[in-house]
């Protein structure tokens, strides 16, 4: 499998940053929603709305013509918000369902709460090759060529996954192949919830003790959730798991972290999102994971607390009081045998 040409669908910060980074090695076409926006970026070589400090290299083609962009490419990468994922996928399926496709969206189907690979299988068909690109990677760092490491996981044979990873790998982007498609998707989505919690902690003025406690227990409850899905334990300690949790929970660049900061300031959620001006996937993901955790009977107290904060049932401080007052048990959840 030879990959020389990639079409990236989505002109937001991540889509633009990936186009800039991957253009060092691949022939890149960036597809935007409107012809006017595509023409403006083609003329100025700058996405002034989402990535204003990074000029687009001359080798990147910018268009709104999806059919033309898909005609000769070897790989498709969807970098849209999760809410637009299915509509974009259907457009691709109607034109070239046979082409390998990956996405950089980190979330679940907004209605069913299922991993996006479920939708991909239904829309693209049983013989399609599809997967996810995930890991600790802010758009700004990718565009500025900060050394970055991510993973790609697909539904296909290891050789195909490795070929995609090798094609996208370059001198500043290290791409590992991963066989755990479901686990990588869950980790990429759940870390956004914990980023909201990290923002709440900092917004409330608590220190590193609180952050360390939250992150450690977040990994523990994420493991319980992953254990109830067809996933691999090692994924949680890899780039798409702990790596992405560490990045997103530790930086003010994270949109979800900023949501937590706003909530800690007692701003209504609607106002927080209005001030943000961008999509924060963790808001809907919190509700979806909480609903699924109740269904599966998985104990996820941090997820439940964030759900209460987002729904306005409790303030962040009230939730922390409740978390600290929970019944004491063994850390690992298993009582030791013997006396």
pLDDT for 268-319, tens place per residue?
Answer: 999 999 998 888 899 999 999 999 999 999 999 999 999 999 999 999 999 9
Q: Edge-to-edge strand order for the sheet containing 5-9?
A: 61-63, 27-31, 5-9, 75-78, 101-103, 130-134, 148-154, 173-178
Q: Are residues 99 and 222 in the same domain?
A: no
- Does residue 335 sit within a domain? no
> What does the angle CA 52 – CA 55 – CA 57 come to, to the nearest 5 degrees?
150
What pLDDT is stored for residue 336 in this prediction?
64
- Does residue 32 sit within a domain? yes
As a whole number, the mean pLDDT across the chain is: 95
- CATH code, domain with 128: 3.40.50.720
In this structure, the dihedral spanned by the alpha carbons of residues 24, 154, 142 and 212, taken in order and rounded to 10 degrees, is: -160
Q: Are residues 169 and 313 in the same domain?
A: no
What pLDDT is stored for residue 335 in this prediction?
61
- Rounded to whole angstroms, the Cα distance separating 150 from 174 reads 6
Q: Are residues 154 and 212 in the same domain?
A: no
Strand partners of residue 174: 149
Boundaries of domain holding 114: 5-179
Q: Are residues 98 and 35 in the same domain?
A: yes
Q: Are residues 17 and 163 in the same domain?
A: yes
Q: Are residues 245 and 300 in the same domain?
A: yes
Count of domains for the chain: 2
Neighbours of 64 (CB within 10 A): 16
Domain endpoint, select from 144, 179, 214:
179
With CA atoms as reference, report the closest residue to 302 among 200, 185, 183, 186.
200
Q: Are residues 45 and 65 in the same domain?
A: yes
Q: Which residues are catalytic?
A: 191
- Does residue 42 sit within a domain? yes
Q: Are residues 162 and 201 in the same domain?
A: no
Q: Which residue has the tokens 């809907």?
A: 284
- Does residue 223 sit within a domain? yes
Residues (pLDDT < 70) of the chain are 334-339
Q: Are residues 36 and 154 in the same domain?
A: yes
- Does residue 184 sit within a domain? no
- Does residue 10 sit within a domain? yes
Q: Are residues 25 and 174 in the same domain?
A: yes
- Rounded to whole angstroms, the Cα distance separating 304 from 231 reads 22
- Does residue 333 sit within a domain? no
Q: Are residues 216 and 129 in the same domain?
A: no
Read off the tokens for 107: 């979330």
Q: Are residues 10 and 132 in the same domain?
A: yes
Domain endpoint, select from 122, 146, 179:
179
Q: What is the model's pTM? A: 0.94
- Does residue 337 sit within a domain? no
């Amino acid at each position: 499998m030879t990959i020389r040409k990639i079409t990236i669908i989505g002109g937001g910060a991540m889509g633009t940053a990936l186009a800039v980074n991957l253009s060092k090695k691949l022939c890149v076409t960036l597809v935007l929603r409107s012809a006017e926006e595509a023409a403006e970026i083609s003329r100025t070589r700058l996405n002034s709305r989402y990535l204003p400090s990074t000029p687009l290299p001359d080798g990147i083609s910018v268009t709104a013509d999806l059919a033309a962009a898909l005609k000769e490419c070897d790989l498709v990468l969807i970098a849209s918000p999760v809410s637009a994922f299915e509509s974009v996928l259907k457009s691709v399926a109607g034109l070239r369902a046979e082409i390998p496709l990956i996405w950089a969206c980190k979330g679940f189907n907004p209605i069913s709460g299922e991993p996006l690979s479920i939708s991909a299988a239904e829309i693209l068909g049983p013989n399609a090759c599809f997967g996810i690109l995930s890991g600790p990677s802010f758009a700004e760092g990718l565009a500025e060529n900060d050394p970055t490491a991510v993973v790609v996981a697909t539904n296909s044979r290891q050789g195909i996954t490795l070929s995609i990873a090798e094609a996208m790998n370059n001198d500043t982007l290290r791409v590992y192949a991963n066989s755990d498609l479901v686990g990588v998707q869950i980790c990429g989505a759940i870390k956004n919830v914990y980023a909201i919690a990290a923002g709440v902690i900092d917004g409330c003025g608590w220190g590193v003790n609180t952050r360390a406690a939250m992150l450690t227990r977040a990994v523990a409850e994420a493991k319980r959730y992953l254990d109830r899905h067809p996933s691999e334990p090692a994924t949680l300690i890899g780039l798409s798991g702990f790596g992405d949790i560490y990045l997103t929970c530790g930086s003010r660049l994270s949109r979800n972290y900023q949501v937590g900061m706003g909530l800690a300031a007692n701003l209504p959620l609607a106002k927080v999102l209005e001030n943000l001006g961008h999509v924060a996937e963790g808001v809907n993901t919190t509700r979806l994971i909480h609903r699924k955790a109740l269904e599966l009977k998985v104990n996820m107290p941090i997820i439940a607390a964030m759900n209460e904060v987002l729904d306005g049932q409790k303030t962040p401080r009230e939730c922390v009081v409740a978390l600290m007052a929970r019944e004491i048990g063994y850390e690992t959840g298993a009582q030791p045998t013997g006396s």
